[in-house]
Structure 1
Amino acid sequence: MYPSDSYSALIVDDELPIRALLVRAMQGVGFRCVEAANGDEAWDTLQTTRFDIVVTDLKMPKSHGHSLCVRLRELNARPITVVLTGIRNERLQRDLEARGVNAVYYKPVNFWKFAEQMRVLVESRAKQQRTDGSHASERGESNPQEAAMPFPKSHAKHVTGLLLRERDRAERLSKAIADNTTDCFIATSSEELCQLLDSQRIDLLIVENELGGFLSGLEIVERLNQQLIRPKVILITEHSSEVSKRACEIGIEQVLDRGVTQDDLVRQTRTVLANQSEQDAYIPALARCLVKDFGEIPPLPQLVVKLAGYLTMPINEIPIDELANDISADSRAATDLLNFTNMGLSVFNQTTSVRQAVNLNGPKKTIMLVLSAATMRVQSQVLEDWNESHRQWYQKRSVIIAAAAATFAERFEHNSPDTAFILGLVQDIGCLVLSKKYGKTYDLIVKRFQEVGRLQLHQLELESFNIHHGHVSAALMLKWKLPQSLIRPIVAHHDAEGEEEISKADRSYLRVIQLGEALANAMEVPHSFRSHMLAQKAGFYDDLTLDERDKIFHEATQYAKALCEVFNFPVPDPKELTAILSNTMATEEEEFEQIS
């Protein structure tokens, strides 16, 4: 734990949710925080109060962050200055550093990790001042090279949170659990726990049911579920018999008697964490809040959620009879499966039996077909409000990404094409939520992306909303209770830091959905930048010849064309795709400056 209130911070951002989350995280590592909504407010505060660090956004009304950074140089006791922005521009970053900014970070960030890094910056300056006896901060001097340390690398440690009635017991347990594989943090209340979990990942929560406050441990877990935060849970209770049933209903892993010994509790903790072979995806709080109460995207049918869970199982363990019976009991799912199975077959070869369709397709492809149809149906309901051009753009784009991802997974990665298809289909579904939420503002973003070849959709979203469609897609999948194995590649597919945290298997799926998206982007606007991005993603498979890659790309586009015809979506032009791919492969070895 950090010493409380040992340093002071001024947080400057015009968006209240961002400001609030950042303040909570900074307070969690021992900062006294003051807030300001723009540069003018921040400057007025700085006239009367001294701060160790100022964290500021750039794009704000009245007085922007760049102006504030320039004015900070006038102060005799200049604080460490850090810019946290969604605007990515190398020239702007160089200009900020030249004006004395100590570090520049880009949204979205893990607020908890960011706050820890700010603590390191401030402590580093304080240590330097103590060591050399100087008063550099009073003269307005600093060492940008020392202050702008790289963001700490994500680690593979498990994270366990403790919320117990007795603080002493929590501290003893924390020391017993923490080792080189597990980190622990202690919360003193349900409110503090929720604040912490808005800014950091958690793998396991150990909570007592009888906390002596307004909420029981069970109620806290239920509220976390409503906030789309679903860690594994060990519940400690005095009334295990009557509580166990309710705990089972809400998915709690273990229910232990309050008299459990510390050694037994540590063993149970190790067992639960060992069974969690991969980390859960960290989804930004803004994305979770956006979809939590958003009722305009309908839920997936319970059958589809159940079938999606089978995707994570070895194929020989999927219960074929149960799978066929479940689909047969749902007339819409049965119709969708039979329509897909009979696609392209003569009337004499078509099947009317769900069980036969499952046998013909295999269990995983069967699940993919049912899940795809349900997702398409959800998309169609939401797309009714979009104008025709945007609706056609989204429909064609989503099928191209899914078809390409499936083909690349099978031929490049030797992974399940069915899982890759689902990932490709849902990775952009967050666009629909953002469109519903922000209306014309989001329509303009899509229009700019369609017209300007150098722009990237997720960067435009970050600049406007501080989250991108991948975050929202992942949050929606979490709300639908789809498996974490599907969610992890989605939340990471535009976040370089997230890519480092996921498993090798997830990373292979991540590559194919990124490649599929690059293909869709290159189709939309024939531009050298998009061709370069597609060639860059395809370059991962440089052990294949250009002819081999060209053949696989051709297979992907033919698959996309067939799917568009089935779904009655706008069909991509094969000649257009061939021209894009030929241009991409021909220029693959050139430098980006030459291509531009």
Structure 2
Amino acid sequence: METDPKVLLLVNRPELASGLSAALEARAIPSLVLDHSDALYSFLNSRSVDGVVVENELPGFLTGIEILDRIYQDLLRPETILLAPRTNEIQERANDIGIAHVIDPSTSIEDLASHIESSLLRSDTRCARLKTEARHIVRRAGEIPAMPQVLVRIADHLDSGTSSIEEVIRDIAIDPKVTADLLKVANSPRFGASRTFTKLFDAVNYLGVHRSLSLIVSRSIASAQRRMSLHIPSIERLRYNQRSVLIASTAEVFAETFEGVSPDTAHVVGLLQDIGMLVLAKVFGRKYMSLQLRVRDVGHLRLEVLENEAFGVTHADVSAALLQMWDFPVSVVSLIGQHHSERIVGHAATVDQTVIHLMRVGEALANLADGHTQQRFPILSKLLSKYPKTEALSSMHKAIKRAKEASELLSVNVPKTDPVSSIVSGLSEEMLDQRDEQPIETVLTVPEREPPAPPPPAAPPSITANVISKPQAPPAAGGSQLHFLVVEDDQFIAQVIDRCLEVYSGKVTACQTIAEAKLHAPAADILFVDVHLGGEDGIQLIEQLRQEGCKAPIVVVSGDRTRSTVGNALLVGANDYVLKPFTEESIREKVDRHLELVR
């Protein structure tokens, strides 16, 4: 049975090719000799290897260093050895490209084989298995914030877990901005220091090496995410921020409570795992955003499955390709790329599976924010089945609290009200205890909250109808206040529409079901209705309201852009249609357009 090669050889001299191949074989390192650069490029695009040896002087138009430059530009990053004279020009260019080793071509075959062996054994150098299309999508995204080289070094320290405080401080001190930022964080009230730190050593010593590294990397990632998300609507930006921080905080809390892995590492990979969504949104625009909305509207759909069908890759693939471009450690790239894989591969599969399980717990909890709790809760319940019930519930509450703290620490804007909080507060040990005994529909009940009475300030909205009183603004024409009815099963979207309507006088009533909507519709001046209301049909609601004599303008707000859906909505009596994702201006424009009908 033929063994897959660990090392690829692209060399000009036949005697070197045969001799080096034999020397590697004697060291139990299978190799493959290739005869041209296209074969090398094709192999790397389809297979994974530990290393590549390329001679600089080759027949044809391209030199070895130019071939490796092309490979690195396509985000293929195997361990590389270039056989070339170690001139200043070649060494500088090799450093710029990222070529690991430059060795004089006159080196003996035995010494060269020994060097290859030692470089492969020294660290896990296996190039992460990335899909070609994922690398191409990252390249198509155009301008992506670069990750400063000092942060790549810091990420390496975080990944290794064995760096001394002296080594860490030496690399942090290279970048004055990173140094100043860490001192600012260490002196913040969040960490409760009794004195002000002015020296880097004192701050790192107080926070701890691992926590310092995690803070630097996390804040840099959050900054990059902010810049990368500028092209998407503010609504989706808030949702992404909430999601990424909650996943990271959940992975961190469950790591420190239950698992023998670094909570700081779990936090970083949790923060990174969905960053590919921002790249996909930038490259595919509305097509990708509509796909995300479809997943949120239909509870049983899985985003990664639809991504793969539509684009041939998942956001996990694209996240991994981006991190490889940023030169993150291979182990981190591999974890991110595999967090939706059924089978985990790698040199430390047990540890990898533990971290990926933590990432999935965070993701499942974050998915509850999108509604359709009855369909989505069983996934979370199954992931939690390995943990004690009481501790699991406590850890979820702790994760939500930690996420709010992390949002402030990372300077990340998130929604004022977190729907996950109200959902988790409705969970109980009994529900988890019965998770394997009966369908979740029979045990999942979120208690209704009484409408808040001032004072105190209003409580967060529940998943039942919620009336939100507004500060008194100038009344509408005729002296009456406007009453908006928002029929939307996604609490987050309902809250965003509510914010869009803050400039108008009156109140907003938000509800999730047809029964609730029909109860409040007679008093409404303008209605905003989603098409897909969990298991109910918004178009059917519109038809019933018109049959019952409702004359108020009805604006459909939906991610469903199919001609039949839009046509049916207008046919049964909708006055207007707004596509998700929407802007504040688009909602207000619809109100202004139809305001004359209610004056």
So what's the TM-score if we normalise by structure 1?
A: 0.66
Distance 1:556 1:292 in 2: 35
Aligned partner of 1:487 in structure 2 is 333
The alpha carbon displacement at 1:336 in A equals 5.9
| Distance in 2 separating the partners of 1:276 and 1:502 | 13
Match status 1:280 vs 2:127:
yes
Task: Indicate whether 1:467 and 2:313 are aligned.
Answer: yes
Between the aligned partners of 1:591 and 1:162, the Cα distance in structure 2 is 58
The number of residue pairs the alignment matches comes to 438
Asked if 1:562 is matched to 2:405, the reply is yes
The structural deviation recorded for 1:296 is 3.4
Deviation, structure 1 residue 260: 3.8
Shift of 1:313: 3.4
2:290 alignment counterpart: 444
What CA distance in whole angstroms lies between the structure 2 residues aligned with 1:175 and 1:502?
A: 30
**1:578 Cα deviation (Å)?**
2.5
Map of 2:379 onto structure 1: 533
Change (3 A) 1:580 1:337: farther
Please list the CA deviations of residues 154-177 of structure 1 after superposition, one character each: whole Å capped at 9, or x if unmatched. Answer: x9x772111111456535543543
1:502-517 map, 5 Å: 503-517=349-363
Identify the match of residue 141 of structure 2 among 273, 294, 297: 294
The one-letter code matched in structure 1 to 2:285 is: G
Deviations 1:446-474 (A, max 9, x none): 10121211111111111110101111111
Match of 1:308 in 2: 155
- Taking the TM superposition and a 5 Å limit, the aligned residue runs for 1:143-542 are 159-167=6-14, 169-171=16-18, 173-178=20-25, 182-237=29-84, 243-244=90-91, 246-277=93-124, 279-292=126-139, 294-318=141-165, 319-323=167-171, 325-326=173-174, 329-330=176-177, 334-335=180-181, 338-339=184-185, 341-344=187-190, 351=197, 354-499=200-345, 503-539=349-385, 542=386
* CA pair 290-549 structure 1, distance change in 2 beyond 3 A: same
Name the structure 1 match of 2:563: none
Indicate the residue corresponding to 1:48 in structure 2: none
CA distance in 1, matches of 2:127, 2:337: 10
Distance 1:377 1:252, change over 3 A: closer
Cα deviation, residue 320, structure 1? 4.6
What is the distance in 2 between the residues matched to 1:169 and 1:561? 60
Between stretches 363-372 and 439-448, larger displacement belongs to 363-372
Q: C-alpha deviations, 1:351-386, integer Å up to 9, x for none? A: 565443322211221122122222212222232332
Residues 515-537 of structure 1: per-residue CA shift (max 9 Å, x gap)? 21111113322433321211222
Counterpart CA distance in 2 for 1:254 and 1:267 is 13
Q: Do the aligned partners of residues 362 and 500 (structure 1) sit closer, same or farther apart at CA in structure 2, a change above 3 Å counting? A: closer
Identity of matched residues, %: 31
Question: Aligned AA for 1:202?
Answer: V
Change (3 A) 1:434 1:587: farther
1:552 to 388, 395, 398: 395
Post-superposition Cα deviations, 1:472-502, rounded to whole Å, max 9, x if no partner, equal 1111111111222221100111122444665
Q: Supply the distance in 2 between the matched residues of 1:285 and 1:247 (Cα, whole angstroms).
A: 24
- Residues 161, 210 of structure 2: 8 Å contact kept: no
Give the 3 Å change call, closer, same or farther, for CA 367–346 of structure 1 in structure 2.
closer
How far apart are the structure 2 equivalents of 1:239 and 1:568?
50
- Residue aligned with 1:374, SS: helix
Distance in 2 (alpha carbons) for counterparts of 1:593 and 1:577:
14
Tell me which residue corresponds to 2:524.
none
The answer as to whether partners of 1:523 and 1:577 remain within 8 angstroms in 2 is no
Question: 2:160 aligns to what SS in structure 1?
Answer: coil
Q: Is the 8 A contact 2:186 2:197 kept in 1?
A: no
CA contact (8 A) 2:84 2:105 kept: yes
Distance 1:346 1:259 in 2: 60
CA contact (8 A) 2:9 2:31 kept: yes
Offset, 1:580: 5.2
Q: Which residue of 2 aligns with 1:71?
A: none
Quote the Cα distance in structure 2 between the aligned partners of 1:316 and 1:207.
32
> For residues 414-457 of structure 1, what are the alpha-carbon distances to aligned partners after superposition, in whole Å with 9 as ceiling and x for unaligned?
22211111100111000000000001101111101212111111
Q: Is the 8 A contact 2:140 2:283 kept in 1?
A: no
Q: Which amino acid aligns with 1:272?
A: S
Distance between the aligned counterparts of 1:336 and 1:254, measured in 2? 33
CA distance in 1, matches of 2:193, 2:211: 22
Tell me the distance in 1 between the aligned counterparts of 2:241 and 2:20.
Answer: 52
d(CA) in 1 for partners of 2:188 and 2:349? Answer: 37
Shift of 1:309: 2.2
Q: Secondary structure at the match of 2:102?
A: strand
Quick check: 2:378–2:440 contact (8 Å CA) kept in 1? no
Looking at structure 1, the residues matched to 28 and 391 of structure 2 have their Cα atoms a distance apart, in angstroms, of: 43
SS at match of 1:255: strand
Q: Secondary structure at the match of 1:311?
A: helix
Task: Tell me, in whole angstroms, the C-alpha distance in 1 between the residues paired with 2:100 and 2:152.
Answer: 20
Go from structure 1 to structure 2 and tell me whether the alpha carbon gap of 1:253 and 1:568 turns closer, same or farther (over 3 Å shift). closer
* Contact residue 531 and residue 583 of structure 1 kept, 8 A: no
* 2:7–2:51 Cα contact (<8 Å) kept: yes
Amino acid at match of 1:279: R
Offset at residue 564 of structure 1 (A) = 3.0
Unaligned runs of 5+ in 2: 444-599
The amino acid that maps onto 1:557 is I
User: In the aligned structure 2, how far is the partner of 1:538 from the partner of 1:180?
Assistant: 45
CA distance in 2, matches of 1:337, 1:204: 40
Check conservation: 1:403, 1:560, Cα contact below 8 A.
Answer: yes
Answer with 1 or 2: which has the greater Rg.
Answer: 2
Q: Counterpart amino acid of 2:221?
A: T
Seen in structure 2, the aligned counterparts of structure 1 residues 250 and 523 have a Cα distance that, compared at 3 Å, is: same
Q: 2:248, 2:270 within 8 Å by CA — same for their partners in 1?
A: yes
SS at match of 2:180: helix
For 1:326, the aligned partner's letter is I
Partners of 2:180 and 2:430 in 1: how far apart?
43
Contact 1:423 1:486 in 2 (8 A): yes
More deviation, 552-561/498-507: 498-507
- Read off the aligned partner of 1:532 and give its amino acid letter: P
Secondary structure (helix, strand or coil) at the match of 1:308 reads helix
| Superposed displacement of residue 193, structure 1 | 1.0
Match of 2:436, SS? coil
Q: Which deviates further from its counterpart, 574-583 or 225-234? A: 574-583
2-side partners of 1:354 and 1:263: how far apart? Answer: 46
Separation (CA, whole Å) in 1 of partners of 2:280 and 2:312 = 12
Q: TM-score, normalised by structure 2?
A: 0.66
Change (3 A) 1:310 1:215: same
Asked whether the equivalents of residues 288 and 475 of structure 1 are also in contact (C-alpha less than 8 Å), the reply is yes
Amino acid at match of 2:56: N
Larger displacement relative to structure 2 (249-258 or 267-276): 249-258
Equivalent in the alignment of 2:564 = none
* Alignment partner of 1:588 is 2:435: yes
